[in-house]
Every structure is written in structure tokens, then in C-alpha cells.
Structure 1
Amino acid sequence: MELPRGLLLAVSDELDRAELAALKFLSRDHLLGRKLEAVRSPYDLFEALQESCLLEAGNLAFLRELLYHIGRIDLLVAHLGSSREQVERELRAPGGARVPPFRYLLFQLFEDVTEDELMSFKLLLVNELPKSKLTRETTMLDILIEMEKKGLLGKDNLSMLKSLCEKINISLWNRIEDGLKLFGQEEVLITEEQRGSTGCPGGHLVSSAAPGPLGSFNDSSQLLEAYKMTSRPRGVCLILNNHNFAKAREGVLEHKHLKDRNGTDVDAAALRNVFSKLHFRVEEYRDLTAEEIRETVNIFQSADHEDKDCFVCCILSHGKKGIIYGVDGQEVPIRELTTSFTAQNCISLAGKPKVFFIQACQGEAFHKGVAIETDSVEEDCSVERDARFQLDCIPAEADFLLGMATLQDYVSYRSPKEGTWYIQALCQHLEYSCPRGEDVLSILTAVNQEVSRKTCERDANKQMPQPSFTLRKRLIFPVN
């Protein structure tokens, strides 16, 4: 039984050329090359999928999966009567995902590559692919398809892709590698029972693992209710950025070691960029004394957050054992800052997530690496001795998340040119994973993994971030 032509036309009319290219790429493992080459419109693709028994009346799972992967949740809702959550549940079910893990990971690579990185791929492949396939209009999807056609890329042939990613941006390869480990590259053959009585000959290879975002938890935790996150702006992202500690050095002798925090402005810029994209109103305050930090926090504590869904505070400063320093060397307890936003002290944020990211050392001990973990090297590292973390820094009540740069008693690292390991990894993973609907705790797990891989070349020491939370729901920052 064929699908209603009107439904397919309605969906087709909403899709542009780039989205058609994405849909064709995701369908490559199910349609012969000639059929794909003949596709000129989304409707042509849908007809080809119907002929292959991948779309049929009463079974729109593959269409839902395709629209989900290209981010067209609006079409799921408007035309298929579905939702993001429904599709995610379907993909987690055994045999629910029809796009193989390898194909999905290549698609994520395409989505993640910047214009500059795309140009680098073209330059590095100039001797491997025809020049006619490496024009200004060539996309990353085009490159991946040509590499497959030339036998330069396949599920069991990743050496060239790895080499390219290592030369251009190692984080691209790390994400692919992490995804392959997560999925196990396992595929299963759909039986007649799994397909139902469709009358379609043969089976189709589909993934036995749900292609969730890289680093995500593929379990029942994704069924938890999520915090409401629909207001515009979502809320305030407050950045307290202390760089110049000259006032502290002019004071008592014990503060002579508080050097200027070169590189912190790179972190602040990254935080501004990513939280602006996540629809937060970003407000940055620089070089505050301890009293000015308290005054600033009191301003936002007293503000009306009633029409906002969240509050974020990012603290970049020196400190020690449960405190941060103002630029005058005076102390402010971390718990004093977080407790300012409890339901009792800030009623308009009651029941809403309060998120704190603190870039700070938590002591003076060094985390020695082992040989198996020396796969990422950072040069020109500056050791920060910023703050030591105690569990009582986070209020006992619900809805708080505290992300610390490193474990208790250990130092963290900062590059004067590139910023801190923790904040840079945090911003990159937020920007990469939030558009894919990944929750913040999963993102912080990926941040832990990336930072733990880094090694300061100068002293071979490492770093391990640590989140602490009392969240009751999934925390997701949508970009739409």
C-alpha cells in the first residue's frame, strides 16, 4: 500500500537542496548508486525508498529517522505527528535505527567540519581525487562520497580519513573514534518478522545501536523529563573574568604568587560565543575585587528571573580551598556565590537549573599520566593555582550543577595563547553537541574524556575535570 502522495509532497516542498543531499547520503546503504543518481528532488528520493520497501503506509520509521538526523523536527511534528522524543525512543529499540553507525558518524563529520577545515581536506586530497570533484562548490559530503567510490574510505578502511583528520583537526578524528567505540560498528540483518509482511525481497542492513549523539548515555536516563528551556533569552550567562592581579601583588606577601591570568580572555570570548548561540544574554564583568564580586552576584540574585528558564555563571579566577580570589587578593567562598541562588535566596529561579562553571585549580598536586594516555599534547602550558574544590561548595537543594576544571587537590592548565583546557573543551562540546539534543551531563562526560587525554609537554602532567550536581531532570540547551 502506497503512502499518500500529498504527505510526501508536503514534506518534500519543505526541504532544500542541501537537505536533499544530506538525505541521499544517509540513504546510501539502502539504495543502489543508479537510483540515487536519478534522484533530483526529495519526492524522487521518497519514491525510491518506497520501491525498496523502506517507506510504506503505516511504517514511516525510516522517514522519521532521516528527518531527525537532519534536524527537521518541525516536519516530524507538522506532517508525521511525531516528536523528537518519540524518534529517540524508536532509535534506542533493537533494530530501530536503519542508518548504519558508520554512515551516521560520517554525516556528523560533515556537519562538524568548518569552511577552513573543508578547504584543508580539498588541498590534502588534490592528488587523490579528480580536480573536477574538488571545486568551490564541493561539500564535505561530496568528498566523502568520492572517497568511498575510489576505495579510499569504508567501514573497515579508515586509515586515510584518520590521517586527514589528524593533520587538520585531531578532535574530528577523536569524535569518530569515540562514536565507533560506542556503536561497536555492529550491524544486523532485518528478518521478515522484524520487517513485517511487506512483500519486499531480501533484507536490509541496519544498525543495532541507536545513533545518538557522540558521548551520550544510551539508556533509560534519556527518558527522564527535561527542564523547560523555551524562553528567549533562556536566561543570563554571567561571566566573572579576573585577569589582572596587580592589586593583589601590591598587597601582602602571600599574594605575590598571584600572576596575571594570561589566556583568560580567550576563554571568556569562547563562553560569550557559545552561550550567545544558546540564546543566553551574556554579561561579562572583568577584574573584580572580592567586594565587587559579591556586589555583582547580589545584582543578579535580586533580579527577576521569572520569565527565564535558567541561570549560568562562569567564574575565571585564582583561588584556594573552596574560595576564589578577587583581583585584590581577598577571598570569596564559592559556596557563598552558589548559595545566593537557592530557592530561598532567589525565588524566581526556584525549580530552575542553576549552572556554575569554575575554571580553577583545586590544589597544588600534579596528576601524573600513564603512557597509554599520551595521545594529546599541549605546548606552552601555564600551571594555574586557582582554587581547591570541596563538595559543600554546591548547595544541598535541587537543580544545581557545578562544573569544576579538575579534581580535588589538583592543578589545572592554561595556555596563555589558547585559553584553558577545560573551558575550551567545554565550549567546543557545547557548540557541537547542543544542536544534536544532547544533555549537559553527557556533554560534561565528553569534556572529561577530552581533557583527560591532554598532556602538558613540559612536565607530562594531566588533568581530570569533575562535575557535581543535584539536577532532577535532563538539562538540554536547544539551539532552536
Structure 2
Amino acid sequence: MSTEFRKLLFEVSEALVTDELSALKFLSLDYVAKGTLETIHEPKAFFEVLQERDMIEAGNLFFLKELLYRIRRIDLLSAHLGSSREEMERELRVPGRAQVSDYRQLLYEIAEDLTSENVQKVKFLLRGPLLKSKLQENASMLQVFLEMEINGIIEEDNLTMLKDIFQGFRADLKKKIDAYEEKKREKYSREEVRYPVSVSVYPEEQGAEGEAAKQYGKIYKMKNNPHGYCLIINNHIFKNPHHNREGTLQDGEAVKKVFKWLQFETVEYMDLEGKKIYDTVEEYSKKDHRNMDCFVCFIFSHGEKDKIKGVDDECVNIEALVSRFTGTNCPSLAGKPKVFIIQACQGSERHPSVAVESDSSGHLEVDARPSTSIPDRADFLIGMATVEDYLCYRSRNTGSVYIQSLCENMKSLCPQRVDLATILTKVNHEVATKDINGFKQMPKITSTLLKLLIFEVPQ
């Protein structure tokens, strides 16, 4: 990290007071867990956490600029970040640019608009729904909102109780919430006109998955149609014909069939060189995913440890591909699930069978050591056909063991509202217990999902 960057963060942190730090933490709740934020008591520690989550970095300070703009510290924007109120207002009008949600902005603006007397009235009216111990005399309105969220009293799509509270003594704030809800309805209405949204016969609050959601967490929203892009990179014909991957076309067809059925905009790119793999993934990271729920990427090729090979045998680091979709690099997917499924060997062992091939080109370094290939960032789910150091297998006639098992299980389990992590676990079991001409294959799941990822099935 550059000295200039650290100096900038230091100077900004020195200018912030306690109440402003609380506001910054509240506005960042969609990106940093409440438990983590509770341990932060000074701005420097807050900035460290944002850096760890790739929300701010040298050369990309937009999230910090937005936070300072939201708390009205225009002086810091101007003095340290070379921005202004007018510039931020222009930037935030760009679709998908704002990273603080409308919901979080609304609550913060309401809190700022309340007098001390107003806050005491809210606390008094909440002493039924909330324990008295949670509403200490000196608790700020933002702390009250946090307790209401924790207890399920308010959430992004349900502000009824808050409106009832303000109706009696701050009707203007009730109207402000009404306007927020109307804006949300108009947004969904426009999307439904453009893409008819399917309604599942398995409501979130019913059945086994509803119980699972209550026990383990919320479900990622799947309201748009298409739900997102399903990008498939499928390397079949290599410059060295001995490395051609027969059977991979069947994998591509199986994935396209499943994800078109699940209402994804599915695109397949064939036979890409290493640089083109990176360029294609980067191109999709720069798209506007504002009206999308999710992003899915399948990559079928040869591989080495932590790497994917292009048809020219040039390697691309898996981490370099995945990191294009962090909150910093792809803000319109922040808080939304990003799924990567990779069918490629991660080691140099060969499979001797003629009927089943290994997804390895055979030209690997024997002294390479395994390393962590997937960055620990929120809302990612990565399915690997094999663990580090080992081969994965593909039939010339029917496709790869792993991808075919995944597609079959998605077809049978998605209509039952089984979440994707559970489906991948079942696939792991099926593949691991197969005898593949006397050999075994062990897939791997890496997940930093914060909610259940359940794909809606069209009726």
C-alpha cells in the first residue's frame, strides 16, 4: 500500500467524530457484518476493514467518497479526495453507481431528521416490541434502527411499523417512507413489463426451504428476468491437437439447457486463448448488473494448480478472474451472489484409461505447490471439479462427470427450492463415490455466501 494512500486515510480518519463513524458503519452494513462493525471504535480500524473487503483501495476510492457525501462531509471530499458535491451528484445519477442502498440511505436520512424529543417518542412507542434494555436513554436513532432490524421489526421490504410510529407525530417522515416504497414498486413494475417474472409455487415461508431460511438466514432475491448472465467459456479445440477436449460440447449444451430454463441470459464462448479468457471475464464484470440478481460463470478447459489454460496453453489465475467481481470492481453486483463453476484439473496426475480423459495438458511443473486460489470475499460460491493437485475426468461421449452430475441435480432439485450450496454438496458426494475406471475424483466447494441461493423455476 502506498504511503500517500495511507496518509490520505489517516487524515480523513483524524477529521471524523464518533457520531460520524457510527453513521459510516450503519451505511456500510450491506457489506460488513454487524458483529465486525461492533468491534470497531475508531475510523482507522473501519477503513482497514473496508480495505480487507476490497471496498476501498488506492486508485479506487468511490465508496469512501460516497460515504463522506452521504454524511455531508463535503469539506473532506474537497480537501482530501479531489471531489465535490456536484461531482458526486452527477456520479450517483449513473445507473448502478451508488453502492449504499436506497433503504440504508432512507433510514440514515430519517435518523438525521429527528430531534432528540422525536427519538425519545420512538423509543417509548417501541418498548413493547423491543426489550427495554435494548433502548437505553443514550441510544441513538441508528442504534434503534439496528435493534429493529435484528428483531425483524423493519426490513427493506417491510417498513409498516415505522410508518405507523411516525404517522402520529411526524407525518412528513411517513410520507417519505411512502415515496420510497412507491419508487420500489415502480422499479419492479418496469422490470415486470420488460421481463414477465415467474411466481414460484414454493413460497419462501413454506416447506423445508422456508424453515431452512428461518434457521440459517435469508434467501438472495431472485425477482428479475433474466436473473443474470450465465457466461460459459468452453475450450474444445486447442492449438496442440493432442490437447483437444472431446466431450466438452456435451457439457456446454447441458449447462445452456439448465440455465436458459432457469431464466438466465446464457452466452457461450468457444476456444479462447488465455488472454481472451481474462478479457471476456473482465468485459462481463464491467456490464451493468443493476437489474440482475446474480452472475454465473462456467469455465471448461485444461488447468494447472490455481490456473485455467487457454487454447494457446497460456495460463490465467483463477483468483484474477474471480476478483473482477468484488464490490470494488463490479459495484452493480455488490451484495448479489457470484457463482463460478470450474471444470479443469488442478494437478499433474494422469488417468490411464482410453474411455475417460483427464482435463490436464500434461505440461505441468512437478514442484509447484498448492496455494489459495479463491479470495475470501462475500457473496461468492465456487465449485471446483477437483481439489488441488488432482485430476478431474471427462467422457468423450457424455461429458464430464462433475458437470453432468451438477446439471442433473439442478434439474431435479431446483423445483424443490433446494439451495445451490446443498446441490453442490450432493454433487460432491455423487462424484466422490463413483468408481471411474479404478480412480476417484473429489470436487471442492468454496463459499462466502451470506444467504441461501435458491433459483426460481418458471411455471
Q: 2:356 aligns with which of 363, 376, 381?
A: 381
CA contact (8 A) 1:362 1:389 kept: no
Q: Please give the per-residue CA displacement for 1:120-179, whole angstroms capped at 9, x wherever unaligned.
A: xxxxxxxxxxxxxxxxxxxxxxxxxxxxxxxxxxxxxxxxxxxxxxxxxxxxxxxxxxxx
Query: Where does residue 349 of structure 1 map in the other structure?
Result: 333
Query: Where does residue 150 of structure 1 map in the other structure?
Result: none
Q: Does 1:438 align with 2:422?
A: no
Q: CA shift at 1:419, angstroms?
A: 0.4
CA contact (8 A) 1:302 1:346 kept: yes
Amino acid of the residue matched to residue 268 of structure 1? Answer: G
Query: Where does residue 359 of structure 1 map in the other structure?
Result: 343
CA contact (8 A) 2:304 2:347 kept: yes
CA contact (8 A) 1:263 1:418 kept: yes
TM-score (norm 2): 0.52
Q: Please give the per-residue CA displacement for 1:362-409, whole angstroms capped at 9, x wherever unaligned.
A: 1134799xxxxxxxxx99211222699956322221000110001221
Query: Where does residue 224 of structure 2 map in the other structure?
Result: 231
SS of residue paired to 1:456? coil
Q: 1:85 aligns with which of 158, 180, 205?
A: 205
Query: Where does residue 117 of structure 2 map in the other structure?
Result: none
Q: Distance in 1 between matches of 2:229 and 2:387?
A: 27
Q: Distance in 2 between matches of 1:432 and 1:74?
A: 15
SS of residue paired to 1:261? coil
Q: Distance in 1 between matches of 2:296 and 2:442?
A: 22
Q: Please give the per-residue CA displacement for 1:12-54, whole angstroms capped at 9, x wherever unaligned.
A: xxxxxxxxxxxxxxxxxxxxxxxxxxxxxxxxxxxxxxxxxxx
Unaligned segments of structure 2, at least 5 residues:
1-197
Unaligned segments of structure 1, at least 5 residues:
1-71, 77-82, 93-218, 250-257, 369-377
Q: Distance in 2 between matches of 1:228 and 1:274?
A: 19
Query: Where does residue 393 of structure 1 map in the other structure?
Result: 373
Amino acid of the residue matched to residue 393 of structure 2? Answer: Y
Q: Does 1:243 align with 2:236?
A: yes
Q: Distance in 2 between matches of 1:74 and 1:400?
A: 24
Cα 1:414–1:406, aligned 2, differ >3 Å: closer, same or farther? Answer: same
Q: Distance in 2 between matches of 1:270 and 1:225?
A: 29
Segment of structure 1 superposing worse, 281-290 or 294-303: 294-303
Cα 1:312–1:321, aligned 2, differ >3 Å: closer, same or farther? Answer: same
Amino acid of the residue matched to residue 379 of structure 2? Answer: D
CA contact (8 A) 2:213 2:219 kept: no
Alignment of 1:63-82 (within 5 A): none
Alignment of 1:8-407 (within 5 A): 83-88=203-208, 223-246=216-239, 248=240, 259-365=243-349, 380-385=355-360, 392-407=372-387
Q: Distance in 1 between matches of 2:201 and 2:441?
A: 43
SS of residue paired to 2:325? coil
Q: Distance in 2 between matches of 1:447 and 1:277?
A: 20
SS of residue paired to 2:341? strand
Q: Distance in 2 between matches of 1:360 and 1:328?
A: 15
Q: Distance in 1 between matches of 2:201 and 2:416?
A: 16
Q: 1:424 aligns with which of 389, 399, 404?
A: 404
CA contact (8 A) 1:379 1:456 kept: no
Q: Distance in 2 between matches of 1:446 and 1:389?
A: 29
CA contact (8 A) 1:389 1:408 kept: no
Q: Distance in 2 between matches of 1:366 and 1:431?
A: 32
How many residues end up aligned between the 2 structures?
Answer: 256
CA contact (8 A) 1:322 1:389 kept: no
Query: Where does residue 466 of structure 1 map in the other structure?
Result: 444
Q: Distance in 1 between matches of 2:214 and 2:389?
A: 31
CA contact (8 A) 2:304 2:348 kept: no
Aligned CA RMSD, in angstroms, stands at 2.8
Q: CA shift at 1:428, angstroms?
A: 0.6
Q: Please give the per-residue CA displacement for 1:67-97, whole angstroms capped at 9, x wherever unaligned.
A: xxxxx98788xxxxxx44234389x7xxxxx
Amino acid of the residue matched to residue 361 of structure 1? Answer: C
Amino acid of the residue matched to residue 302 of structure 2? Answer: H
Amino acid of the residue matched to residue 271 of structure 1? Answer: V
SS of residue paired to 2:389? coil
Amino acid of the residue matched to residue 421 of structure 2? Answer: L
Q: CA shift at 1:232, angstroms?
A: 0.3
